[in-house]
Amino acid sequence: MYICCSLTLQPLQPASDIFIATLGELGFESFEETPEGLRAYIPEKDWDEPAVAGLPYWTSPDWEASYQVERIPRQNWNAVWESGYPPIRVGSRCMVRAPFHPPAEGVNFDLVIAPKMSFGTGHHQTTWLMLDFILDLDLEGRAVLDMGAGTGVLAILAARRGATPVLAVDIDPWSAENCRENAVENGVPAIEAVVGDARAIGGRNFDCILANINKNTLLADLPRYEAALRGGGRLLLSGFYVSDLDDLREAAGGLGLVYQSFRERENWVAALFEKPDGSGL
């Protein structure tokens, strides 16, 4: 069983973005924006109502917020997506769509993503930002790691752009399964999808690491990312706000990673770092 936490937010923004980020850190797996606010889903075993009720954002002077809770069966996100999510265009070269949408025309990368229980359809700003960055990276023949892979959409675009091998890691078994299915659907079945956290990297090394998670997890896992990144490699991070960028830059800089640039979309950020040649493998 799952817990559905239905939030009523007025106005919707920026409250929705703040609650998505905060609830994500409490273990919520998926989110669905509604006209009234937001629905957030978490396995019943992970539900901690005192932690949710204790969030300071319920009494913000900038919005009105309340929530209701109901127990629901494990949900198929295909049904949720089909109920109203349009295809998402990323720049002029990429489209992310569901299997029931017609094929995209005039793009280099037509990605077909069936979300099931996983997060990552391109609708959230952080996923869009990561896809936008990936379109500009030279990944031909590069080893790529996608941490917090969700549907696998980032790993799939990387593989479609020539990355090999590609490892996709997520703590949710359903996400790993969903990633494998989506990889086959998009013609890149060689993507390796595994269940785990940053420890699943083991002793492997990569030319590019993608991590769209949340600020706290990124800060905790940065040392593992740095150790796994080859000299001259790129680290692309997202899942945090503009106000968090300095903290990520400081932590990455302390590990010898060099900040390159960032992109912003509705207050969310993706930031690119590089490991200097000669500092590692």
CATH number at residue 192: 3.40.50.150
- pLDDT at residue 64, rounded to an integer: 94
Block mean pLDDT (10 aa), the chain, length 281: 91 84 84 83 90 94 93 65 73 90 92 69 82 97 96 96 97 86 97 95 96 90 97 95 95 98 93 83 40
Quote the CA–CA distance of 90 and 265 in Å, as a whole number.
Answer: 12
Quote the CA–CA distance of 208 and 184 in Å, as a whole number.
Answer: 22
Q: Are residues 256 and 180 in the same domain?
A: yes
Quote the CA–CA distance of 198 and 211 in Å, as a whole number.
Answer: 10
Q: Are residues 70 and 176 in the same domain?
A: no
Query: How many H helices and E strands in the chain?
Result: 8, 14
Q: Are residues 167 and 54 in the same domain?
A: no
Give the contacts of 16 (CB within 8 A, at least 6 positions apart). Answer: 9, 33, 37, 38
- pLDDT at residue 83, rounded to an integer: 58
Last residue of a domain, one of 14, 41, 75: 75
Q: Are residues 174 and 255 in the same domain?
A: yes
How many domains are there within the chain? 2
- pLDDT at residue 114, rounded to an integer: 79
- pLDDT at residue 240, rounded to an integer: 87
- pLDDT at residue 115, rounded to an integer: 64
Q: Which backbone phi and psi does 56 adopt, to 5 degrees?
A: -75, -15
Chain mean position to CA 34: 20
Q: Are residues 132 and 240 in the same domain?
A: yes
- β-partners of residue 261 are 272
Structural domain that includes position 12: 2-75
- pLDDT at residue 78, rounded to an integer: 54
Last residue of a domain, one of 36, 52, 75: 75
pTM, two decimals, is: 0.74
Q: Are residues 152 and 68 in the same domain?
A: no
For residue 94, is it within any domain? no
For residue 106, is it within any domain? no
Q: Are residues 69 and 145 in the same domain?
A: no
Q: Are residues 69 and 164 in the same domain?
A: no
The CA distances from residue 203 to 35, 149, 171, 206, 280, in Å, are 46, 19, 18, 10, 13
- pLDDT at residue 98, rounded to an integer: 84
For residue 102, is it within any domain? no
For residue 21, is it within any domain? yes
- pLDDT at residue 281, rounded to an integer: 40
